[in-house]
Structure 1
Amino acid sequence: MPYDPQITYDDMLKVWSGGERANYFAPHLSIGEIIFREMERHPKLIAQISATEKTVLTREEVRFNAMRVATYMRGLGLKQCDIVGLIARNTTHLVAVAYACFFNGMPFHSMNISYEQDTIEKLLSITRPRLIFCDGDEYERVLAATEHIKLDISIITMRNHPSGSVRIQDILTTPIEDNFRPARLEQGPDQTLAILCSSGTTGVPKAVTATNSHNCIFPGFLVTTDVVQYTHSTVDWFSGLSSIINAGVFSTTNVIADNDFDPAFMCRMVQEYRIGLVFQCPSHMAMLANCPEFEDADLSSIKHYIFGGSRCSLDVQNRVRSRLNGDLIFSYSITELNSTGTLNLHFDEKPNSVGCPVAGNKIKIIDEEGVALGPNKVGEVCLFNGQHWSGYYGNPEETLMIRDSQKWFHTGDLGYVDEDGFLFIDDRKKDMLKYHNIMYYPNEIETVISQMPNVAEVCVFGIWNAVNGDEAAASVVKRHGTNLVAQDVLDFVKEHIDAQYKQLNAGVIIVDDLKRSGNGKTNRRANKDHFLNVQKIN
Structure 2
Amino acid sequence: MTIERPWLAHYPAGVPAEIDVDQYPSIPAMLDESIRLYRDRPAFSNMGKCITYGEVETLSNRFAAYLLGELRLKKGDRVAIMMPNCLQYPIATFGVLRAGLTVVNVNPMYTARELKHQMVDSGASVILVLDNFARTVQEVLPETSLQHVITTGLGDMLGFPKGPIVNFVLRYVKKMVPDYDLPSAVRFRDTLALGARHELPEVSIGPEDIAFLQYTGGTTGVAKGAMLTHRNLVANMQQASAWVGGNARPGEEVIITALPLYHIFALTANGLVFTKFGAKNILITNPRDMPGFVKELRREPFTAITGVNTLFNGLLNTPGFDQVDFSKLHLTLGGGMAVQRAVAERWKKVTGVTLVEAYGLTETSPAACINPMDLAEYNGSIGLPIPSTDACIKDEDGNMLPVGEVGELCIRGPQVMKGYWNRPEDTAAAIDADGWLHTGDMAKMDENGFFYIVDRKKDMILVSGFNVYPNEIEDVIAMMPEVLEVAAVGVPDERSGEVVKLVIVKKDPALTAEQVKAHARANLTGYKQPKIIEFRDELPKSNVGKILRRELRGD
TM-score band, normalised by shorter chain: 0.7 to 0.9
**1:534 is matched with which residue: 532, 535, 538?**
532
**What is the aligned partner in structure 2 of residue 174 from structure 1?**
194
Question: Are 1:21 and 2:15 an aligned pair?
Answer: no
How far 1:198 sits from its partner (Å)?
Answer: 1.0
Q: Distance in 1 between matches of 2:357 and 2:415?
A: 23
Question: Are 1:269 and 2:301 an aligned pair?
Answer: no
**2:144 is matched with which residue: 144, 149, 157?**
149
Q: Secondary structure at the match of 1:210?
A: strand
Q: Distance in 2 between matches of 1:6 and 1:370?
A: 22
Q: Distance in 1 between matches of 2:116 and 2:256?
A: 31
How far 1:5 sits from its partner (Å)?
Answer: 8.8
Question: Are 1:237 and 2:263 an aligned pair?
Answer: yes
Instruction: Say if 1:104 and 1:150 are closer, same or farther in 2 by CA, change over 3 A.
Output: closer
Name stretches of at least 5 consecutive residues in structure 2 with no aligned partner.
155-166, 168-176, 462-469, 503-526, 537-555
**What is the aligned partner in structure 2 of residue 401 from structure 1?**
429
Q: Distance in 2 between matches of 1:170 and 1:182?
A: 23
**What is the aligned partner in structure 2 of residue 105 from structure 1?**
100
Contact kept, 8 Å, 1:271 with 1:301, in 2: the verdict is: no
**What is the aligned partner in structure 1 of residue 549 from structure 2?**
none
Q: Distance in 2 between matches of 1:468 and 1:35?
A: 41
Question: Are 1:127 and 2:145 an aligned pair?
Answer: no
How far 1:370 sits from its partner (Å)?
Answer: 1.7
What RMSD over aligned residues (CA atoms) do the two structures have, in Å? Answer: 3.2
**What is the aligned partner in structure 1 of residue 335 from structure 2?**
308
Contact kept, 8 Å, 2:127 with 2:148, in 1: the verdict is: yes
**What is the aligned partner in structure 1 of residue 221 from structure 2?**
203
C-alpha deviations, 1:107-139, integer Å up to 9, x for none?
Answer: 110021222221111111101211101111110
**1:33 is matched with which residue: 18, 29, 33?**
29
**What is the aligned partner in structure 1 of residue 235 from structure 2?**
215
How far 1:174 sits from its partner (Å)?
Answer: 2.4
How far 1:473 sits from its partner (Å)?
Answer: 7.4
How far 1:91 sits from its partner (Å)?
Answer: 1.2
How far 1:202 sits from its partner (Å)?
Answer: 4.3
Tell which deviates more after alignment, 108-117 or 94-103.
Answer: 108-117
Q: Distance in 1 between matches of 2:416 and 2:370?
A: 22
How far 1:236 sits from its partner (Å)?
Answer: 2.6
How far 1:80 sits from its partner (Å)?
Answer: 1.6
Contact kept, 8 Å, 1:190 with 1:388, in 2: the verdict is: no
Instruction: Say if 1:68 and 1:335 are closer, same or farther in 2 by CA, change over 3 A.
Output: same
Instruction: Say if 1:44 and 1:82 are closer, same or farther in 2 by CA, change over 3 A.
Output: same
How far 1:168 sits from its partner (Å)?
Answer: 1.4
The amino acid across from 1:533 in the alignment is K
Instruction: Say if 1:245 and 1:517 are closer, same or farther in 2 by CA, change over 3 A.
Output: farther
Tell which deviates more after alignment, 274-283 or 322-331.
Answer: 322-331
**What is the aligned partner in structure 1 of residue 251 from structure 2?**
225
Q: Distance in 1 between matches of 2:143 and 2:413?
A: 39
Instruction: Say if 1:471 and 1:377 are closer, same or farther in 2 by CA, change over 3 A.
Output: closer
How far 1:293 sits from its partner (Å)?
Answer: 2.0
The amino acid across from 1:40 in the alignment is R
C-alpha deviations, 1:357-397, integer Å up to 9, x for none?
Answer: 11111110112222111221111111111456321112222
C-alpha deviations, 1:450-471, integer Å up to 9, x for none?
Answer: xxxxxxxxxxx99969799886
How far 1:308 sits from its partner (Å)?
Answer: 0.6
The amino acid across from 2:323 in the alignment is D
**What is the aligned partner in structure 1 of residue 74 from structure 2?**
79
Q: Distance in 2 between matches of 1:379 and 1:342?
A: 17
Instruction: Say if 1:91 and 1:468 are closer, same or farther in 2 by CA, change over 3 A.
Output: farther
Q: Secondary structure at the match of 1:173?
A: helix
Instruction: Say if 1:35 and 1:432 are closer, same or farther in 2 by CA, change over 3 A.
Output: farther
C-alpha deviations, 1:433-460, integer Å up to 9, x for none?
Answer: 9xxxxxxxxxxxxxxxxxxxxxxxxxxx
Contact kept, 8 Å, 1:515 with 1:526, in 2: the verdict is: no
**What is the aligned partner in structure 2 of residue 450 from structure 1?**
none
The amino acid across from 1:108 in the alignment is V
Q: Secondary structure at the match of 1:372?
A: coil
Q: Distance in 1 between matches of 2:196 and 2:275?
A: 20
Question: Are 1:427 and 2:455 an aligned pair?
Answer: yes
C-alpha deviations, 1:255-285, integer Å up to 9, x for none?
Answer: 0021243333333333322211111111111
Q: Distance in 2 between matches of 1:84 and 1:432?
A: 38
Instruction: Say if 1:21 and 1:208 are closer, same or farther in 2 by CA, change over 3 A.
Output: same
**What is the aligned partner in structure 1 of residue 52 from structure 2?**
58
TM-score (norm 2): 0.74
Tell which deviates more after alignment, 255-264 or 333-342.
Answer: 255-264
The amino acid across from 1:371 in the alignment is N
How far 1:88 sits from its partner (Å)?
Answer: 0.6
The amino acid across from 2:17 in the alignment is E
Q: Secondary structure at the match of 2:310?
A: helix
C-alpha deviations, 1:392-428, integer Å up to 9, x for none?
Answer: 1122221111111111111111111112211111111
Q: Distance in 2 between matches of 1:537 and 1:196?
A: 35
Q: Secondary structure at the match of 2:419?
A: coil
**What is the aligned partner in structure 2 of residue 418 from structure 1?**
446
Q: Distance in 2 between matches of 1:304 and 1:340?
A: 16
Instruction: Say if 1:229 and 1:331 are closer, same or farther in 2 by CA, change over 3 A.
Output: same
Q: Secondary structure at the match of 1:291?
A: coil
Q: Secondary structure at the match of 1:94?
A: helix
TM-score (norm 1): 0.76
Q: Distance in 2 between matches of 1:413 and 1:225?
A: 37
Q: Distance in 1 between matches of 2:495 and 2:50?
A: 59
Q: Distance in 1 between matches of 2:56 and 2:422?
A: 33
Q: Distance in 1 between matches of 2:377 and 2:365?
A: 28
Q: Distance in 2 between matches of 1:348 and 1:45?
A: 32
How far 1:177 sits from its partner (Å)?
Answer: 6.0
Instruction: Say if 1:180 and 1:36 are closer, same or farther in 2 by CA, change over 3 A.
Output: farther
How far 1:246 sits from its partner (Å)?
Answer: 2.5
Name stretches of at least 5 consecutive residues in structure 1 with no aligned partner.
10-17, 434-460, 476-513
